[in-house]
């Protein structure tokens, strides 16, 4: 599988990150990354992929069509495998094949290993200990490794997870829970 585009979007209501890959064979893979998962995997990824040498990096862009806007704008890159990826290109949502289905794979385990200059990462969803689970195996070229690190750094900066080497989340907007007692509250998200 050769990755063509990569997009990450923090979904505040679900407190997890939606990772989407487009491949050159016109497939789209969708994965959920949780705080618990990233708490263990993020230090491993930082140890394997050095920080980029330049200050250039991806910027947040408008949300793609096809998925409801339920969080922060996605941070995306195209094409991902090159060191100087074009982060301004919108993620293409018109890919027709969804090999994992429309529901994103909920990643419960990640393993990675170096294969020459490539970084092989396996994303595993194991919801039932008795079942084998579903797996997505991806090989990241050097430029894509840097892109993944940069995109995850920016996306983690939108969370309040406070993982190492990530920017602090911006202050949250006032919510119904922070309003004075005289104000009306219409509901609770969680």
Domain ranges of the chain: 3-102+143-162
Question: pLDDT by residue for the chain (190 residues), tens digit each?
Answer: 788 889 999 999 999 999 999 888 889 999 999 999 999 999 999 999 988 765 444 444 433 333 444 566 776 654 444 444 555 667 776 667 999 999 999 999 999 999 999 999 999 999 998 988 999 999 999 889 999 999 999 999 999 999 988 887 655 555 454 444 444 444 544 4
The answer to whether 115 and 43 are in contact (CB under 8 A) is no
């Amino acid at each position: 599988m050769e990755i063509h585009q990569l997009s990450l979007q923090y979904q505040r209501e679900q407190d997890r990150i939606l990772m989407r890959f487009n491949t050159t064979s016109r497939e789209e893979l969708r994965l959920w990354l949780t705080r618990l998962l990233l708490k263990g995997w993020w230090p491993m990824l930082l140890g394997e992929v050095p920080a980029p040498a330049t200050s250039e990096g991806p910027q947040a862009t408008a949300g793609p069509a096809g998925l409801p806007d339920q969080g922060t704008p996605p941070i995306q890159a195209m094409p991902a495998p090159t060191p100087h990826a074009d982060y301004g290109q919108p993620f293409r949502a018109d890919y027709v094949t969804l090999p994992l289905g429309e529901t994103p794979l909920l990643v419960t385990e990640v393993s990675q290993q170096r294969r020459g200059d490539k970084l092989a990462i396996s994303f595993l969803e194991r919801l039932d200990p008795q079942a084998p689970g579903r797996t997505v195996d991806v090989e990241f070229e050097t430029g894509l490794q840097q892109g993944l690190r940069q995109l995850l750094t920016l996306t983690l900066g939108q969370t309040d997870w406070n993982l190492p080497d990530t920017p602090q989340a911006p202050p949250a907007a006032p919510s119904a829970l922070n309003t004075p007692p005289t104000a009306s509250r219409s509901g609770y998200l969680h």
